[in-house]
Structure 1
């Protein structure tokens, strides 16, 4: 029985730990917060999960909210120019529905499930010395903590990190009572691009108190949408949201007239510097030296503009689980760790980084794709499903030449 430690109780860490327990490994997971603390805390993300990631959860027996979470089959997109004018509008259908489950629900239940299924859970904080001691007691230690001191043990890979500062200021709120543009159409996500200001995303979700809507501002730093840097309490945050909607998206302001925060912890603010780190770190020296393997946000951090965070975490955890299973009884060397992480980078993670960077910078040829999507349903469908399968970015969005060739093939 392999002895494996996992540090971090987010999507990636918990999913990997649960999968390894199912595979017969002796697993110790180190988490900073108990299930009760997670459930009662502040929201953690927007976590829209697309079809491929949902299928991974289903195969692992972890899709516990399928019948409760709203199923989103399409995204309504609009390009909005001042003063509050919708220049382009189109619908992007998804081949497989997406869902969003408040991670406070998901991660708390998964922590309980891990203990129920025989995993060992230690609730404590770890510094570098504590991680070194943990790694010396296990055959393999995987670090899935993307924040704080432990994230800093993995060196930034400058060649793969497209930015050195945040590209958006973020503000997220979970709310009840949000109206729908077309109630008969069923749950739909909405995306608004406001050139020079940023983007607004709205998506149905499931939270502790039932179905809700999540609003996410992706504000260009210093723009009028960048209005939440002081971390306001949720009532003040909602008031500012209403003010911005009234000025820039008045049709959405109507839907938010009767909205209320789902709970006192329903708001989240901050900024993310998209970063890629080297996936293996050495702790100690000489005979005491050990290597640890990074997973999820500990290695690849994307801005949420393309919704890749939870999806990439699910796919990374699944890839690492398969690699561990295939490795049999062989030792987990630093070389094996590097090869495992590089395989996932080449197959998936690099595409999420490139796709996200393109959406943040919006080069001319990508602007042309949005214009074509408003005219050609096939373009709108392919664009929607590139969010679900970002490796398709390399096939048609990565260069102006690829985009021109694709658009020409459909008669554009």
Structure 2
């Protein structure tokens, strides 16, 4: 039950954005900046964003060499180039919008550890550099195998080490805090702990319904943007958007940690980085695709043990450490890596399926989604 005052004040908007991750916040910000007099509401089902925006590894990356090669096996070359460009533009958008200090952005470079079984990928480095040259006006990948010893990696496990100077790392929490600061400055309203379970285009407006404590509350808007990524199937089961859990752990500080930067392994399925003198490592979803196709936020013993094994055997073979924390985030994948950005009706648009690259591509998706929904202003 709601009062007249609540109904009159808190249930009617020009735009409702469902989801408060990177895409949702960016969409609301870009729209509000174009239409400062319009009322905008963001609705988030969790206390904090529920997917991966505050639970990822903080990689400012766009794809490792082996991942791009792997994508070329199942995607047209033009599509692979397009998605790398979207990721690169998204990172530029994020940095321009928030500033490097607010992001704690550090361009320490990115590396990829190549095993003996993967050395054939190195033979394609010149081809991939040529393919990506129009985006960067530079060769992206180079051989830095001389750093294997410097970084202390197990040389029996790591045969080659590739380098990408354009990659960096961010502080995920600071990024989201900076986006929320802009949201508040623009007088965008946000409601957390409220899940939208139904939405309809009524022709002259959109209704979004929540059933908190079995009590229905309807929110109305001229337009609506759905930015729920990993949780898309709960609202739109017909879309090809599959959740994928990413498990992560971070160590206590390690004295004299011998490397800094972001690191990839095995087509992007494993990733690790330094955070100060700590190591953050995540991945292993491919070890149990079925089990990790879930929206359940928890870690599992087999995958955490696998990450620890990689730390022990490959990354830190001679350095003692202790695990400080472990957690999980939920990403979204599909039969294609290109995000879904489109109108569902005359008043409802969607931006989902970040393909595990939400930090990079999320702000670009938000920009494009805001442009789509702004083009419907004639309906106001």
Q: Place the TM-score, normalised by the shorter chain, in its bin.
A: 0.5 to 0.7
Q: Match for 1:122 among 166, 187, 191?
A: 191
Q: Which residue of 1 aligns with 2:163?
A: 92
Q: Which residue of 1 aligns with 2:367?
A: 318
Q: Match for 2:323 among 254, 260, 263?
A: 260
| C-alpha distance in 1 between matches for 2:55 and 2:273 | 15
Q: Match for 1:19 among 30, 33, 40?
A: 30
Tell me if 1:214 matches 2:280.
yes
Tell me if 1:133 matches 2:202.
no
Alignment of 1:299-314 (within 5 A): 300-302=353-355, 304=356, 308-314=357-363
Moved more, 135-144 or 115-124: 135-144
CA contact (8 A) 1:201 1:216 kept: yes
Give the gaps of 5 or more residues in structure 1.
283-289, 333-412
Partner secondary structure for residue 284 of structure 2: strand
CA contact (8 A) 1:72 1:188 kept: yes
Offset of residue 17 of structure 1: 1.1
Partner secondary structure for residue 5 of structure 1: strand
Partner secondary structure for residue 106 of structure 1: helix
Offset of residue 292 of structure 1: 1.6
Partner secondary structure for residue 220 of structure 1: helix
Offset of residue 119 of structure 1: 0.8
Q: Residues 17 and 179 of structure 1: is their aligned pair in 2 closer, same or farther, counting only changes over 3 Å? A: farther
Tell me if 1:30 matches 2:96.
no
Q: Residues 52 and 272 of structure 1: is their aligned pair in 2 closer, same or farther, counting only changes over 3 Å? A: closer
Q: Residues 191 and 179 of structure 1: is their aligned pair in 2 closer, same or farther, counting only changes over 3 Å? A: farther
Offset of residue 38 of structure 1: 5.9
Alignment of 1:168-179 (within 5 A): 170-178=246-254
Q: Residues 6 and 98 of structure 1: is their aligned pair in 2 closer, same or farther, counting only changes over 3 Å? A: same
Moved more, 109-118 or 79-88: 79-88
| C-alpha distance in 2 between matches for 1:70 and 1:180 | 19
User: 1:171-194: CA deviations, max 9, x gaps?
Assistant: 3123342467744xxx22222339
Partner secondary structure for residue 266 of structure 2: strand
Which structure has more relative contact order (CA 8 Å, sep 6+)? It is 2
Give the gaps of 5 or more residues in structure 2.
1-12, 62-87, 119-153, 210-218
Offset of residue 18 of structure 1: 1.7
- CA-atom RMSD in angstroms: 4.3
Partner secondary structure for residue 229 of structure 2: coil
Q: Residues 232 and 24 of structure 1: is their aligned pair in 2 closer, same or farther, counting only changes over 3 Å? A: closer
Q: Match for 1:201 among 271, 294, 305?
A: 271
Tell me if 1:292 matches 2:348.
yes
Offset of residue 155 of structure 1: 2.7
Q: Match for 1:113 among 182, 207, 210?
A: 182
| C-alpha distance in 1 between matches for 2:274 and 2:27 | 27
| C-alpha distance in 2 between matches for 1:142 and 1:134 | 11
| C-alpha distance in 2 between matches for 1:230 and 1:319 | 29
Q: Residues 61 and 106 of structure 1: is their aligned pair in 2 closer, same or farther, counting only changes over 3 Å? A: closer
Q: Match for 2:378 among 330, 336, 341?
A: 330
User: 1:384-408: CA deviations, max 9, x gaps?
Assistant: xxxxxxxxxxxxxxxxxxxxxxxxx
